[in-house]
Chains A and B, each alone.
Chain A
């Protein structure tokens, strides 16, 4: 067990865990940040996606030591107070969810994509989202939500 501090959603979290513990386990079990989900444990379904220094990462395969010293954002840290992130807003408006278990991972992957490219092509969207599974088959609406968020973000400011 090692004392570790992680910077999550703009604030430090201190806890004791083995350095090899997956970040997802720390988030869910020690810090009660349960918005990131366990779906496979092998980085194949995307339910656990968080941002590490702004980029989408599968937290189920990121050990704690690899996240130390970096800025981590989870779904809980995306909205600014009551103000939803444009991607969250777009998912709501497009009804881009059914059971919604994949939703937080989908949103984090989409935020990562739009961080890097505000106006992604269809092919870029598919590539960025290919690692996220929605078993309910909400894919067309998720794509629509990402396009809508892209428009919202481009309108926001350069």
Chain B
């Protein structure tokens, strides 16, 4: 095996959505599928090619099967009325198992309790590129509503045929088809009894509009909440198989190291221990985790690594190590009007640089995988946001066709964009192959902080010009390394130059909740605040003066009203705001801070987020996601930063890397705008973007000190200030 620990991971999901191969193979033919599901009604939906390709992927035609090319949603109604829904999306805490269940219940008109979701099992679900980019709600929710609506129509037709009546006079309700004229009704279970029906439906059904929803649009507790409060749910790290061994990888002391030599004699002398050395991979498997740990510690390995940069020189490094311009590197450039001329002729100009450090996802459940070989078939249970992506990684690593690899994803202890890759699965599988038995590998916290990937650091240079009327005339924006997500400005500027410059990153980097949108919004919204102050204009008024986008204006204006932006502000208090648009979500975040001029203590008094993500599917789950994004945003805004030196992460424990805890949370309020006239959109990401600029701008308002780097807290120290 050739391990690939340092494959540069694409920064933007947008980018790998373009390049990821669409390679679904419908593995279980229908007979096999029915054996698995039992008798009943199986409904699959086909979509237009363009739509199927969007986000979730299309299916390749299998010659053995009559399913058309664009199948990407299916469900089964069993003889007991149980509805089993199959989706490649996965649950990592965003609560989609519940919100997708609601969507199905709404369209299929069947109780929530009768629905079971099979998620992220590559053998059973339609191909899906992954759970990222806030796409589950706008795409999968819609798709499952459609397949459910199609299934409802099939059931209506079945009942109509049985009663020999016009289906138009029947209606579906509570898992039954009823005929109001004869008062007859048949349950879904009765209708499908003894059937072996497959229906492939081309979907053009009108959906139930959000205004008429009765199940969706309502708060619904987590469908399997009881399993979590009783400890019953089995996460990937809780999986077990008989005769299973425990794995441990022997890691080099630095990134990009090459294994020179390894003395494994002592380790191999321990009872039951298997040692694997394959290229740069060095690992052990043993009957217990304690033995595996001991064996790993007894391996004497010599590694060779080149000197590597440290976070102290990070921002200079990023500017000096740009990658050559190419589409593959992800360069992005947008130009409109004549920015140079507009800057040259402007009365007022502002030029500033903003910086963002690397941060870690630190999902509470570290990477974990259980791998089992059966001849040349590989089965892996692992926590990943891309089960099909991990299947490809495994197939490549072991030179297997994809249909010989089966990846299953038990609901996992969070991801935040940090679990797109399958390195732990590959490692567990490599050890299992050598041990000739199942092997479980759970990364330690130190490993997760070191060998996972990070949210990209970045340098952002902004240059702007503004007229005396408070209209921005020129906007030049260069992002080095952190990414192109939300790099475009939503403010109306006639002359723009916006560019993303990819960099040969010193650390392995990848996706993260909202990606570069957080860095780009931080730079843009702080810069907007700086211009407003230079004009002595109210920062909200200045934004609205340059903004036409109706939904964004609405969240700014509504938020300001609810927050009390125009109200009285006590002495030594500061107000700040930041907001924007990304992934179909509109957010405006307001913060209030206070300064104690004697002690230098700065206190965040409250954060208020206004959010619009279209029609709301589950207000309760949505509120959890929005508040959660705000709290995660507080960590990145105030104190999170990966410290590294010569290929090592220095703060690789929770005792060294500070994440938000109970006492760090100011009063948080959210105001959700329910746009029933809009299709629902995702919510996990966009609300994080406004937090850092709102806090930075509020600190400026209270102290007159402008903070242009994330995290903010360390920047206060030279001014004799600190966060309390």
CB-CB contacts of B355-384 with A at 8 A, as 1s and 0s? 000000011111000000000000000000
Would you call B445 and A100 a contact (CB within 8 A)?
no
Would you call B235 and A37 a contact (CB within 8 A)?
yes
Q: Which of B240, B365, B444 contacts A101 (CB 8 A)?
A: B365
**Residues in B whose Cβ lies below 8 Å from that of A95:** 221-222, 225, 620-621, 624
Would you call B231 and A139 a contact (CB within 8 A)?
no
Would you call B222 and A97 a contact (CB within 8 A)?
yes
* CB nearest to B221 among chain A residues: A95
Would you call B95 and A98 a contact (CB within 8 A)?
yes
Q: Which of A21, A47, A99 contacts B412 (CB 8 A)?
A: A99
Would you call B365 and A39 a contact (CB within 8 A)?
yes
Would you call A99 and B231 a contact (CB within 8 A)?
no
Bound complex: CA A42 to CA B709 (Å) = 31
Q: Say if the beta carbon of A32 comes within 8 Å of chain B.
A: yes
Would you call B620 and A135 a contact (CB within 8 A)?
no
Would you call B663 and A137 a contact (CB within 8 A)?
no
**Residues in A whose Cβ lies below 8 Å from that of B15:** none
Would you call B630 and A137 a contact (CB within 8 A)?
yes
CB-CB contacts of B378-393 with A at 8 A, as 1s and 0s? 0000000000000000
Whether A92 touches B221, Cβ cut-off 8 Å, given contacts A84-B230, A100-B93, is yes
**Residues in A whose Cβ lies below 8 Å from that of B59:** none
Q: Say if the beta carbon of B653 comes within 8 Å of chain A.
A: yes
CB-CB contacts of B425-462 with A at 8 A, as 1s and 0s? 00000000000000000101100000000000000000
Q: Say if the beta carbon of A66 comes within 8 Å of chain B.
A: no
Would you call B290 and A100 a contact (CB within 8 A)?
no
Would you call A138 and B624 a contact (CB within 8 A)?
yes
CB-CB contacts of A55-69 with B at 8 A, as 1s and 0s? 000000000000000
CB-CB contacts of B235-249 with A at 8 A, as 1s and 0s? 101101000001000
Would you call B231 and A74 a contact (CB within 8 A)?
yes
Bound complex: CA A3 to CA B366 (Å) = 31
Bound complex: CA A47 to CA B412 (Å) = 14
Q: Which of A25, A76, A98, A126 contacts B662 (CB 8 A)?
A: A126
Centre residue among B228, B288, B363, B654 by max chain A CB count within 10 A: B228
Minimum C-beta distance from A82 to chain B (A): 10
Would you call A32 and B230 a contact (CB within 8 A)?
no
Would you call A34 and B238 a contact (CB within 8 A)?
yes
Q: Say if the beta carbon of B10 comes within 8 Å of chain A.
A: no
Would you call A140 and B668 a contact (CB within 8 A)?
yes
Q: Which of B237, B654, B663 contacts A45 (CB 8 A)?
A: B654
Bound complex: CA A133 to CA B663 (Å) = 11
Q: Say if the beta carbon of B232 comes within 8 Å of chain A.
A: yes
Minimum C-beta distance from B607 to chain A (A): 11
Q: Say if the beta carbon of A6 comes within 8 Å of chain B.
A: no
Q: Which of B92, B229, B621, B654 contacts A40 (CB 8 A)?
A: B654
CB contacts under 8 Å to A, within B257-291, are 288-290
Whether A34 touches B654, Cβ cut-off 8 Å, given contacts A97-B222, A129-B662, A136-B628, is no
Q: Say if the beta carbon of A72 comes within 8 Å of chain B.
A: no
Would you call A40 and B93 a contact (CB within 8 A)?
no
Would you call A76 and B231 a contact (CB within 8 A)?
yes
Would you call A97 and B231 a contact (CB within 8 A)?
no
CB-CB contacts of A93-106 with B at 8 A, as 1s and 0s? 10101111111100
**Residues in A whose Cβ lies below 8 Å from that of B92:** 99
Would you call A47 and B364 a contact (CB within 8 A)?
yes
Would you call B631 and A137 a contact (CB within 8 A)?
yes
Minimum C-beta distance from A68 to chain B (A): 18
Bound complex: CA A37 to CA B444 (Å) = 12
Q: Which of B226, B366, B653, B663 contacts A44 (CB 8 A)?
A: B653
**Residues in B whose Cβ lies below 8 Å from that of A84:** 226, 229-230
Minimum C-beta distance from B249 to chain A (A): 16
Would you call B93 and A99 a contact (CB within 8 A)?
yes
CB contacts under 8 Å to A, within B390-438, are 411-414, 416
Would you call A99 and B414 a contact (CB within 8 A)?
yes
Bound complex: CA A140 to CA B445 (Å) = 25
Q: Say if the beta carbon of A2 comes within 8 Å of chain B.
A: no
Whether A92 touches B629, Cβ cut-off 8 Å, given contacts A38-B237, A99-B364, A101-B235, is no
Bound complex: CA A99 to CA B232 (Å) = 14
* CB nearest to A76 among chain B residues: B231
Q: Say if the beta carbon of A114 comes within 8 Å of chain B.
A: no
Minimum C-beta distance from B360 to chain A (A): 10
Minimum C-beta distance from A117 to chain B (A): 16
CB contacts under 8 Å to A, within B197-243, are 221-222, 225-226, 228-235, 237-238, 240
Whether A97 touches B363, Cβ cut-off 8 Å, given contacts A136-B414, A136-B628, is no
Q: Say if the beta carbon of A153 comes within 8 Å of chain B.
A: no
**Residues in A whose Cβ lies below 8 Å from that of B343:** none
Minimum C-beta distance from A2 to chain B (A): 13
Would you call A136 and B93 a contact (CB within 8 A)?
yes
* CB nearest to A17 among chain B residues: B290
Q: Which of A28, A42, A88, A98 contacts B624 (CB 8 A)?
A: A98
**Residues in A whose Cβ lies below 8 Å from that of B659:** 133, 135
Would you call A92 and B225 a contact (CB within 8 A)?
yes
Would you call B628 and A102 a contact (CB within 8 A)?
no
Bound complex: CA A105 to CA B231 (Å) = 10
Q: Which of A29, A88, A134 contacts B364 (CB 8 A)?
A: A134
Would you call B653 and A40 a contact (CB within 8 A)?
yes
CB-CB contacts of A31-54 with B at 8 A, as 1s and 0s? 011111111111011010000000
* CB nearest to B655 among chain A residues: A44
**Residues in B whose Cβ lies below 8 Å from that of A39:** 364-366, 445, 654
Minimum C-beta distance from A152 to chain B (A): 14
**Residues in A whose Cβ lies below 8 Å from that of B289:** 25, 29
Would you call A103 and B229 a contact (CB within 8 A)?
yes
CB contacts under 8 Å to B, within A111-158, are 125-126, 129-130, 132-143
Bound complex: CA A84 to CA B231 (Å) = 12
Q: Say if the beta carbon of A75 comes within 8 Å of chain B.
A: yes
Bound complex: CA A99 to CA B233 (Å) = 11
Q: Which of B231, B362, B662 contacts A34 (CB 8 A)?
A: B231
Bound complex: CA A107 to CA B225 (Å) = 13
* CB nearest to A35 among chain B residues: B231
Would you call A40 and B628 a contact (CB within 8 A)?
no
**Residues in B whose Cβ lies below 8 Å from that of A135:** 362-364, 414, 416, 632, 659
* CB nearest to A39 among chain B residues: B364
Q: Which of A28, A35, A132 contacts B230 (CB 8 A)?
A: A35
Whether A138 touches B231, Cβ cut-off 8 Å, given contacts A39-B364, A45-B654, A133-B659, is no
Q: Which 10 A-B pairs rank lowest in CB-CB distance, beginning with the nearest?
A: A35-B231, A99-B93, A137-B631, A101-B413, A75-B231, A100-B228, A137-B628, A98-B93, A34-B238, A44-B654
Q: List 26 A-B contacts (CB under 8 A).
A: A29-B289, A32-B240, A34-B234, A34-B238, A39-B365, A40-B445, A44-B654, A44-B655, A88-B230, A91-B229, A92-B221, A95-B621, A99-B364, A99-B414, A101-B414, A103-B228, A126-B663, A129-B662, A130-B662, A133-B661, A137-B631, A138-B628, A139-B631, A140-B665, A141-B624, A143-B662
Interface residues, chain A, with chain B CB atoms under 8 Å away: 17-18, 21, 25, 28-29, 32-42, 44-45, 47, 74-76, 78-79, 84, 88-89, 91-93, 95, 97-104, 107, 125-126, 129-130, 132-143
17 further A-B contacts with Cβ under 8 Å, apart from A100-B413, A135-B362, A137-B629, are: A32-B240, A34-B234, A39-B366, A76-B232, A88-B230, A89-B229, A92-B226, A98-B624, A99-B92, A99-B413, A101-B235, A130-B662, A133-B364, A135-B364, A136-B624, A139-B660, A141-B627
